[in-house]
Amino acid sequence: MKEKNFIIIRIFLILLCASSAASAEASVTSVKLVPDPWPPYVIGEEGNSPAGGVTVEILTKIFERLENVILEMKLYPWKRALNYAVEGDVDGIWMVVKNEERIQVLEFTEPLLEARALFWYLRSRYPDGIRWETLADLAPYRIVVVRGYEYTKPLFQKSIRCLVN
């Protein structure tokens, strides 16, 4: 099965300058990040702080090392989280695939990790497997996708039947 590598985890952080040099006390800066639930990277329920996940643990460790910075995370559906980041309503988002459109409005760091996007299917429904070389080979199938995810664009362009959640 053909696999496509995606750089899926990018963080951009906008840390605001804290108090002036003349200030005797250090100000605390709150950084608000908004991912969407995507196990095993981000685990939790929309509207809440993440309950865990690989990338949540990485970011928590990073922010624990920063003085006077408090990390706030809240889970939202993907398109809403991305919109909050693009509109500047939050300080950052992670688990973002870099594309030309996003480069125009977001700052990207180096990736924390890379992952591959795969197709999954029920073995009981397709006991001989699904063989494909190009996206056009997937035309007979209906594929479940997440609204707004980068991988959906080529599927829609090839008129692959998609069930959008």
For residue 84, the one-letter residue type is Y
CATH number, domain 4-19+26-116: 3.40.190.10
C-alpha span between 99 and 13 (Å, rounded): 18
Share of the chain above pLDDT 70, in %: 84
- Given a cut of 50, whether residue 19 has pLDDT beyond it is no
Q: Render pLDDT for 75-100 as a digit per residue (tens, 0 to 9).
A: 999 999 999 999 999 999 988 888 89
The 10 Å Cβ neighbour count of residue 23 is: 9
- The structure tokens listed for 54 are 């690989």
DSSP summary character for residue 28: P
Q: Render pLDDT for 132-162 as a digit per residue (tens, 0 to 9).
A: 999 889 999 998 888 878 888 888 888 888 8
Mean pLDDT lowest for which of 18-22, 84-88, 111-115?
18-22
Q: What is the pLDDT of residue 25?
A: 56
SS3 content of the chain, % helix, strand, coil (to 5): 20, 20, 60
C-alpha span between 57 and 55 (Å, rounded): 5
Q: What is the dihedral of CA 59, 62, 66, 69, to 10 degrees?
A: 0
The 10 Å Cβ neighbour count of residue 10 is: 20
Residue whose pair of structure tokens reads 């099965």 in the numeric block: 1
Please state the domain extents for the chain: 4-19+26-116, 119-164
Determine contact, residues 14/111, Cβ cutoff 8 Å.
no
